[in-house]
Amino acid sequence: MPIFRLFYFAIIVLAVSGIASHVYARDSVGLVLSGGGARGFAHVAVLEALEANRVPIDYIAGTSMGAVVGALYASGLSASQVREKLLAVDWNAALRDVTDRNERSFRSKSFEGRNFLGLDLGVALDQLKLPLAVLRGQKLALVLNELTLEAAKVSDFDALSIPFRAIATDLATGDPVVLDRGSLATVLRASMAVPVLYSPVEIDGRLYVDGGVANNLPIDVARDMGADRVIVVDTSSQRYTTSELTSVVTVIDQLTNLLTLRNTEAQLKTLTDSDVLIEIFPEGIATADFNKVKDALAAGRKELVTAEDMFVSLSVDRSAYRDWQESHRTEQLPSTLAFVEVISDAPRTSSKTIANRLTVRPGQLLDNERLGSDLGKIYALETIDQVEVSVIERGNQVGLSLETREKAWGPDYLDMGFNLEDSLDGRASYNLSGVIRATNINPLGGEWRTELTLGDKTEVTSELFQPIDYGSNWFASAIAGFVSEDRALYQMGVVTSMYSTETREYGLDAGYTLDTRAEFRGGFRQSRVANKLILGASSLGAEIDDSRYFVRAGYDTLDSLGFPTKGVRLLGEYSIHDSTLGATKQYDDLTLDMLYPFYHSNRTTLVAQGYFGYLFETSVTDVTPRYSLGGFTRLSGYSPDEISGRHASLISVIGYQRLNEQVVFPIDQPLVLGFSLEAGNVFQSRDEIRWSNTLTGGSIFVGADTAIGPSYLSFGHTEGGHKSVTLSVGRPFAERN
């Protein structure tokens, strides 16, 4: 009997060993995910099918969007978690590199109405240095940092829940490069950096661009990792025919396809009968159609309806798959940070300046929202090109490390701007502008900014802006300027006189910036105005000292200055023209300006606009009329600045409807159709300020936020029979001269 029991026990042991051998000695499986832009969201459907059919994955290799999907799954997320994370991203904004306006400094927003184009050209005494691409990809970098924060602690990709590789292309040689370590977010950005469109990513002294150029379907990489069998998912689009090449989007997509086609075909030839090939080519979805990502996901699910038959040889039983899932759970982030450090490879941007912009502190919990906000503040310095985020361990302590790199084409920059306002009746205002910014001229982050405007006026303004400490919100400013222009004075719509006016001005300010939302400053301006009569009746003094003390406050949370949909902008200034400062006449004046989008639904927006200007001493003579109206939304029936006076008030409601969808590429801008209802006037004395003297009118317009700034073509009418047709380019309707 004991012998029988021993024999029976031996049979059981052998049987269990055989089952275990069958379960755990399975072929290792590699998942290969191609690039494909928006079509790459079909990869998520594949992950869902793998989980539904209990297919464990041992290795993942991906390119571009395939690398992003693969990295998230490799970091231990489930297919549903990957889907939720990716669909929560505004990919249009990320890939268009549109930084939220409220992530920019108030100082930067205050210059926006001058319509500089954002060329960001590096300038030196002997050369002009160009950026390496049209877009810098900073918004994408922020998104990728947020997506991969759970894996920020991992620097060796073999240590992820599933060993992972991303493919990039060495820009110097054109060779494919397998990236297996470093900052996961930075590596993914390198794998996605479409040449010319997005800046190359520097890693260890080498520049990398989109991996699809050299190896869009890295089957060989998965095999080199150790995969016995591979599941290959190809979302590369088929080539367009001549008749289908109808837009810049399809042309760019075609060029991408041609670059990847040859290396993809070479990889596909290495597949064997034991491998699985899944081809998903969603119709009507181009590389850049990130507004159709849900359609790409649906196309992938449709393609995988018969996935059970496809994966039957790779499936394991429920118990084995549950064990695999348990071993691939995401490691949670540390509850608190023991330290936060900034490593700056930025010779003119102090690490203290960067550190002082952080709200993530030792002893705090690390969360995506706070870190994303801090990274936005770093990029808002406008001198940093790249930030690598790592969660690192030192002994028993865990902390956050931020490594920053300056723009290679800095530290001094040139930009250009243009604006035009033409009433199409012979009266036009046009200006070409340029600005040179010398950044980080001292360790505290001082900036010297000089602007030149040529056109219907000549203007030179130079400002030295100086924070009082590293990253401080307190600042001081010294400014000097010169303006020369011809100025017409109107009465009842008729030019009564024309002056050639020259203004020379200098002054000192001090103030405080409240993060990105507000600024308070005060100071003085020594200002001398020379008026030379060209024609008409003389009404202004030949020489006027317009020196003054002032306080100014601004609050700006608008999402856009050209066509805002939310937020508010409030600007106010109070000036004291004091004889002790040298002013010819002593008086005070107040200016208030408001813009408030009070309704937004789907594509329709309603905006309230208000403007008020008031001189407190109306008996003073020889004071240049300080306020003017006329032009688009400013009593649209009049030409720009056609009526002027010592007081002014304006209220208007502006509505617009977006007519088309905006996609990724910045040339595809939304077109709007709109109207304005206006009431206001200028007044020569305070006794005239009453509702019965107010003029009413309005306009209808078409507009677009173009590459050269917001543009409008309006047809205006104002009480009294005043009509105009105005073309305005580069000057937001809320901005004044």
> Could you read off the pLDDT of 601-660 as tens digits, one per residue?
988 999 999 999 998 865 555 556 678 898 889 999 988 888 888 899 999 999 999 887
Q: Which residues pair with 649 in a beta bridge?
A: 612, 681
Token pair, residue 332, equals 């949670």
Q: Which residue stretches of the chain have pLDDT < 70?
A: 1-25, 237-240, 244, 246-250, 252-253, 256, 330-335, 346, 424-427, 490-493, 617-625, 661-670, 734, 736-737
Cis peptide preceding 411, ω within 30 of 0? yes
Q: Which residues pair with 173 in a beta bridge?
A: none
> Residue with structure tokens 């072929």?
27
Q: Find the distance separating the first CA and the last CA of the chain, reported in whole Å.
A: 107
pTM of the predicted model as reported, rounded to 2 decimal places? 0.82
The answer to whether residues 687 and 711 touch, using CB atoms and an 8 Å cutoff, is no
> Which residue in 499, 498, 412, 333 sits closest to 126, CA to CA?
412
pLDDT of residue 134: 81
Distance between CA 394 and CA 663 in Å, rounded? 45
> Hey, what's the torsion of the CAs at 95, 212, 295, 284, to 10 degrees?
100
Token pair, residue 4, equals 């029988």
Q: Which residues pair with 340 in a beta bridge?
A: 400
> Which residue in 706, 637, 715, 641 sits closest to 675, CA to CA?
715
Tell me which amino acid residue 161 is. S
> Which residue in 459, 325, 449, 437 sits closest to 383, CA to CA?
437
DSSP letters of 458-485?
Answer: EEEEEEEEEESSTT-SEEEEEEEEEEEE
Distance between CA 497 and CA 624 in Å, rounded? 13
pLDDT of residue 3: 54
The answer to whether residues 40 and 235 touch, using CB atoms and an 8 Å cutoff, is yes
- The DSSP code for 17 is H
> Residue with structure tokens 């026990």?
9
> Which residue in 163, 169, 164 sits closest to 190, CA to CA?
169
Q: Which residues pair with 209 in a beta bridge?
A: 169
Distance between CA 319 and CA 413 in Å, rounded? 61
> Residue with structure tokens 């289908």?
244
